[in-house]
């Protein structure tokens, strides 16, 4: 086996560059396939490498069994995406792989390691290479050099960080892929599709990378850093062909369109919706959007093409926060967007963020007022999570608001920061209070069950709701992941500390 691409058995997390959080801390607790791995595997296979993908985290594979399987596969290279909340355990798992296989090459990618490459490579010898930025081609070029002895000097592989001469060598950044249609479709045949189910219907679900890039400057979001500012759209014909392939080859009819702002180009969305509708594929899908990029005609077209839910980064109900996070939307635009969705018969998911440095109880109360006013079908209140490379991280570090010791503990649900007015504990209490007070409205429960539409879905909603309430009412405040490592194995390594970080007390 040339390359084994894995999701380590270190807890169930969204490992997207933009969304790095525990699955169980979100309202819709869905396990999406690791499409980042499938995209990298597709390029490797195109270039003649033998690959396999193992999603140990979604499969719930115990550490020992995962290591046993990896020992049996004996890959020459192991590759995975690391995120900020999983980093400590990812590094510990990389060490186990090195201990097991000795000569194996361990390669990491991901938004968080891209910005911490020097710290990780200098402190963690179990990591051999870090791929920075968009890395499908980088991985294949590296594999060509190491596994096929192609005469490409390491220094000429763009977007690569590695050790050399006692220091970290960073090759120049790799330009973003201009034409996404050049990339092969993800290697879905390497995934165990049965692991990925819609929590609502129980049907198999998959994601489709429709677009990459975001031109907006939101201070907390790594999307423009990870995917670039120009929005790169896939050709509608290519996307439609991939959808058809999923339907015909795998029987998959439920999709999430992955794109930082799926509705950025009105013409493209209308063209795609028309194509899906005319193809008669009878699919069901969701996407992410911005409140200022939709209109009634677009929503009607999306509904006809099978769109049932749209997620919006609302962030805040307070004009000061909307302005200072540079979201570039007004409160009334948010209200209008949710009204338009309701009129179009598309369900809405609102994502709020609590805990920007300047926020007081007044700001969080304004979020709750807006949430009640727009009355979304699904909602999350995430604690601001300062990700590497973002302006928010620099801000909380400079203003001594950063709780670095909590960064590993879970992402959006366990505060890794505080505000000047509110402690981490107060932010946690506000989050729970906001979620519980909105979930437990009788009108909300009645509407959710009414809209479920079938006994099976009603049962799934009741089950998901009960689980969510149990989680919110429990006292679990931190990730149990590290403790899940068996006692008879070596302790996980401590996480890398960011050189410029200042941990503070609440
Ligand atoms: S609009 Fe803002 S939050 Fe949304 S993807 Fe772009 S930068 Fe991120």
ipTM: 0.99
- Residues 422, 455: one domain? no
User: Is position 217 within any domain?
Assistant: yes
Do 240 and 143 lie in a common domain?
no
One domain, residues 137 and 203: no
Cβ–ligand 1 contact at 222 (below 6 Å): no
pLDDT of residue 82: 93
If asked whether residues 203 and 149 sit together in one domain, one would say no
Residue 221 DSSP class: -
In this model, does residue 500 exceed pLDDT 80?
A: no
Residues 71-80 have a mean pLDDT of 97
Considering the domain architecture, whether residues 109 and 211 belong to the same structural domain is answered as no
CATH of the domain at 156: 3.40.50.280
- Determine if residue 314 is left, alpha or beta; phi over 0 gives left, psi from -120 to 50 gives alpha, anything else beta: alpha
Span from the CA of 374 to the centroid of ligand 1 (angstroms): 20
Query: Residue 407's pLDDT band (boundaries 50, 70, 90)?
Result: confident
Residues 234, 144, single domain; the answer is no
Domain count, the chain: 3
First vs last C-alpha separation in the chain: 49
Q: How far is the centre of ligand 1, averaged over its atoms, from the C-alpha of 25 (Å)?
A: 20
Q: Is the pLDDT of residue 476 over 60?
A: no
Is ligand 1 within 6 A of the CB of residue 392?
A: no
Using the mean position of ligand 1's atoms as its centre, give its distance from the Cα of residue 443 in Å: 31
- Non-local (6+) Cβ contacts of 444 within 8 A are 375, 438
In a domain, 201, yes or no: yes
Average pLDDT, the chain: 90
In degrees rounded to 5, what are phi and psi of residue 369? -60, -45
Is the separation of the CB atoms in 410 and 25 below 8 Å? yes
**497 lies in some domain:** no
Does ligand 1 lie within 6 Å of residue 218's CB atom?
yes
Q: Is the pLDDT of residue 211 over 80?
A: yes
Same domain, 74 and 89: yes
Is the CB of 313 inside a 6 Å radius of any atom of ligand 1? yes
Residue 82 per-residue DSSP state: -
Whole-number Å distance, alpha carbon 486 to ligand 1 midpoint, is 39
114 and 53: one domain?
A: yes
Residues 71 and 21 in one domain: yes
Q: What is the pLDDT of residue 76?
A: 97
Does 506 reside within a domain?
no
Domain housing 115:
3-170
Q: 75 alpha carbon to ligand 1 midpoint, in Å?
A: 37
Query: What three-state secondary structure class fits 341?
Result: helix
Question: Of the residues 217, 261, 324, 349, which should be mutated to test ligand 1's pocket, given the most ligand atoms within 8 Å of the CB?
Answer: 261
What gap in Å lies between CA 84 and CA 486, rounded to an integer?
23
Is 56 touching ligand 1 by the criterion CB < 6 Å?
no
């Amino acid at each position: 086996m040339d390359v084994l691409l894995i999701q380590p058995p270190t807890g169930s997390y969204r490992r997207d560059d933009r969304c790095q959080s525990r699955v169980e801390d979100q309202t819709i607790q869905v396990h999406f396939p690791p499409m980042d791995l499938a995209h990298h595997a597709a390029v490797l296979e195109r270039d003649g490498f033998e690959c396999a993908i193992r999603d140990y985290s979604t499969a719930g594979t115990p550490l020992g069994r995962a290591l046993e399987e990896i020992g049996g596969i004996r890959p020459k290279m192991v590759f995975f995406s690391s995120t900020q909340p999983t980093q400590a355990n990812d590094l510990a798992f990389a060490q186990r792989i090195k201990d097991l296989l000795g000569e194996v090459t361990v390669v990491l990618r991901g938004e968080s390691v891209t910005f911490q490459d020097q710290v990780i490579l200098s402190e963690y010898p179990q990591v051999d290479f870090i791929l920075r930025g968009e890395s499908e081609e980088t991985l294949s070029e590296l594999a060509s050099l190491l596994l096929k002895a192609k005469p490409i000097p390491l220094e000429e592989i763009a977007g690569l960080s590695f050790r050399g001469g006692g220091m970290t060598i960073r090759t120049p950044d790799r330009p973003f892929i201009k034409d996404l249609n050049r990339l092969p479709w993800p290697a879905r045949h390497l995934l165990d599709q049965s692991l990925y189910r819609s929590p609502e219907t129980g049907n198999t679900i998959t994601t489709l990378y429709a677009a990459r890039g975001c031109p907006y400057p939101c201070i907390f979001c790594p999307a423009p850093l990870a995917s670039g500012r120009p929005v790169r759209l896939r050709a509608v014909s290519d996307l439609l062909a991939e959808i058809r392939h999923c339907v015909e080859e795998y029987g998959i009819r439920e999709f999430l369109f992955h794109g930082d702002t799926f509705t950025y180009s009105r013409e493209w969305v209308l063209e795609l919706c028309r194509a899906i509708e005319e193809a008669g594929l009878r699919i069901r899908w969701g996407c992410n959007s911005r409140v200022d990029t939709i209109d009634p005609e677009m929503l009607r077209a999306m509904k006809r093409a099978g769109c049932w839910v749209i997620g919006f980064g609302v962030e805040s109900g307070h004009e000061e926060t909307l302005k200072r996070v540079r979201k570039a939307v007004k409160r009334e635009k948010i209200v209008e967007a949710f009204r338009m969705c309701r009129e179009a018969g598309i369900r809405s998911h609102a994502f709020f963020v609590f805990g920007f440095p300047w926020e007081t109880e007044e700001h969080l109360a304004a979020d709750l007022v807006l949430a009640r006013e727009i009355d979304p079908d699904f909602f999350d209140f995430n604690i601001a999570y300062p990700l590497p490379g973002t302006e928010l991280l620099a801000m909380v570090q400079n203003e001594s608001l950063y709780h670095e010791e909590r960064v590993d503990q879970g992402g959006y649900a366990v505060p890794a920061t505080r505000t000047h007015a509110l402690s981490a504990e107060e932010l946690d209490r506000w989050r729970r209070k906001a979620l519980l007070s909105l979930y437990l409205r009788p009108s909300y429960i009645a509407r959710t069950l009414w809209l479920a539409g079938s006994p099976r879905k009603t049962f799934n909603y009741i089950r998901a709701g009960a689980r969510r309430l149990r989680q919110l009412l429990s006292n679990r405040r931190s990730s149990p992941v590290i403790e899940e490592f068996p006692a008879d194995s070596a302790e996980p390594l401590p996480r890398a500390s960011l050189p410029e970080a200042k941990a503070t007390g609440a």
